[in-house]
Amino acid sequence: MSNHYSLYIDGKWLDTDDNYEIRSPATEELVATVAKGDVSHVDAAVAAARGAFDEGTWRRTPPAERAALINTVAERLAARTEELAALQSRENGATIRITGALHVGLSAAQLQYVAAIARDYEWETTGPAIEPVPAAGIVVREPIGVVAAIVPWNIPLLTTVWKIGPALAAGNSVVLKPDEHAPLLPLELAREFDAAGLPPGILNVVTGDGEPVGAHLSGHPGVRKVAFTGSTAVGKSILRQSADSIRRVTLELGGKGANIILDDADIEMAVDGALFACMANNGEACEAGTRLLIPRSRRDEILAKLLARASTLRLGDPLQPTTHVGPIISAHQRDRILDYFEIAKAEGATVALGGGVPDGPGFDKGYWVEPTIFVDVTNNMRIAREEVFGPVLVVLTYDSTDEAIKIANDTNYGLSAGVWGSEENALQVARRLDSGMVWVNNWHVIHPAYPFGGYKESGLGREGGPHAIDEYVEEKFISIDRSGGIENKAFAIVIDPAV
């Protein structure tokens, strides 16, 4: 059973001369075909978005009505959780254990949350009287214009709603470019916005290759803001592209999350938590905990428990509820991971678990990598510094808490970190980590009311949280004379009222 998806431009579904075939990374079966856009479609989508913005229907719609429409879409998504979760698992191989709750459930909750904060948002505030001029002041928060939203394949729906939820709530127009490997849920979301009555041109979707389609969109002179999730390399190129026009940019990029087990941790819990941190979503998560830092004094005990638990991980069909880890999105990404295995071994790391491609029934088709653990790793090795984006954990040892913190912070990234131990000790360590998110005795806790994003090269700005809408508005200060003209004391700087 497969389905066809079109581009969505100016409220119309549009087919093109060429299609992507979306195939399951577990079975290589055809899941859907998707119209393949090119740069001319980006031009058409940006023109439609700009036209709809200038025409003004959506941005002049009262915020509560915009919020109500977003809420309708959230409810429709929530009602379709099971169906969309299965579609997501078939499309990108994320396991059904995570696609329902995280990919679809959290996306619906995120839209509901943004609708709620949009209702209470201070779209316009009156400030204090301005003396001695005198004047009154108001601050108006208005939409920026055309927003380009560019999203990846690993968690496509959540990374989409993080952007288009607040963008639409604020009255912007959007051109969304899903990843060419996993565009289906963003396109399903567009179907729901269309059905809910979003005016034509306010949301447009162009599925196309990163180069040239994504780059054409992010550099388009008609785009006033780019919101991007993906690799740090592309994030940097978007930032460079945006310099000339001072385009607004938010970036959610890579990570190399350090997960510190303290001396006083509950080891059973910490070991299970470490596997959850690293292997959830097949390890294809920017916030994954990929560097496990353990005290040298307890190395053997922790490693024995970690390897015993890790060897029970079930790799296989992502649609089976019993599966813990599914396939890798593509042959390219699988080969990239396998290359890292060779690099790690050449640099002196030792494979303690996995380290290859599984064989046997169920693995003859698709793209697979065994859940893998490396030991004898030092923080200068590439396997400890670069984002591998697969079910791969590296274990490092430390001698003191200060050293653990130093190793954790010794990275160009700063998205996520975790600490396992007594709450008092773990919290002290958490406060010293250079990271946008720190989880104490848990991991992957993502909630609409809390910000998601990173320090350093992990990004710019935050998604979600109470300030999500701030990233999608311009602030305008309007000052109004309250002097009656001639009494305005400021004029006296150049005009002498006595003359």
Positions that interact with ligand NAD (CB under 6 A): 150-154, 177, 179-180, 210-211, 214-215, 218, 229-231, 234, 237-238, 252-254, 286, 387, 389
Answer yes or no: 252 catalytic: yes
Q: Which is nearer to ligand NAD, 237 or 401 (CB)?
A: 237
Q: Which is nearer to ligand NAD, 252 or 317 (CB)?
A: 252
Q: Which is nearer to ligand NAD, 70 or 182 (CB)?
A: 182
Q: Which is nearer to ligand NAD, 236 or 296 (CB)?
A: 236
Least CB distance from residue 39 to ligand NAD, whole Å?
A: 12
Query: For residue 34, how many other CB atoms are within 10 A of its CB?
Result: 24
How many Cα atoms occupy the beta-carbon half-sphere of 448 within 13 Å? 23
C-alpha distances in Å from residue 106, one per residue of 119, 429, 470 = 20, 29, 21
CA distance 119 to 126: 18
Burial code (b: 16+ CB inside 10 Å, e: under 16) for 220-244 equals bebbbbbbbbbbbebbebbbebbee
Query: For residue 416, how many other CB atoms are within 10 A of its CB?
Result: 29
Answer yes or no: 286 catalytic: yes
Q: Which is nearer to ligand NAD, 157 or 265 (CB)?
A: 157
Least CB distance from residue 160 to ligand NAD, whole Å?
A: 10
How many Cα atoms occupy the beta-carbon half-sphere of 194 within 13 Å? 16
At residue 384, what are phi and psi to the nearest 5 degrees? -95, -10
Phi/psi zone of residue 465: left (φ > 0), alpha (ψ -120 to 50 degrees), beta?
left
DSSP state for residue 198 in the 8-state scheme: P
Q: Which is nearer to ligand NAD, 151 or 187 (CB)?
A: 151
- Among residues 91, 188, 278, 286, which one is catalytic? 286
Least CB distance from residue 250 to ligand NAD, whole Å?
A: 13
- Among residues 252, 287, 370, 471, which one is catalytic? 252
Say which residues have a Cβ less than 8 Å from residue 136's Cβ, sequence separation at least 6.
126, 129, 130, 479, 480, 482
Least CB distance from residue 406 to ligand NAD, whole Å?
A: 24
Q: Using CB atoms within 10 Å of the CB of residue 19, give its burial: 0 to 12 exposed, 13 to 18 middle, 19+ buried.
A: middle
Give long-range contacts, CB 8 A cutoff, 24+ apart: 195-200: 195/76, 196/69, 196/72, 196/73, 196/76, 197/69, 198/58, 198/69, 198/168, 199/11, 199/52, 199/57, 199/58, 200/10, 200/11, 200/12, 200/48, 200/52
Q: Which is nearer to ligand NAD, 217 or 271 (CB)?
A: 217
Least CB distance from residue 179 to ligand NAD, whole Å?
A: 4
Q: Which is nearer to ligand NAD, 173 or 207 (CB)?
A: 207
Please name the residue that has the structure tokens 């913005």. 53
Least CB distance from residue 254 to ligand NAD, whole Å?
A: 5
Asked if residue 118 lies in contact with residue 187, where contact means CB atoms within 8 angstroms, the answer is no
Least CB distance from residue 72 to ligand NAD, whole Å?
A: 27
Query: For residue 21, how many other CB atoms are within 10 A of its CB?
Result: 11
* Position of minimal CB gap to ligand NAD: 210
CA distance 213 to 216: 5
Least CB distance from residue 151 to ligand NAD, whole Å?
A: 6
Q: Which residues are catalytic?
A: 252, 286
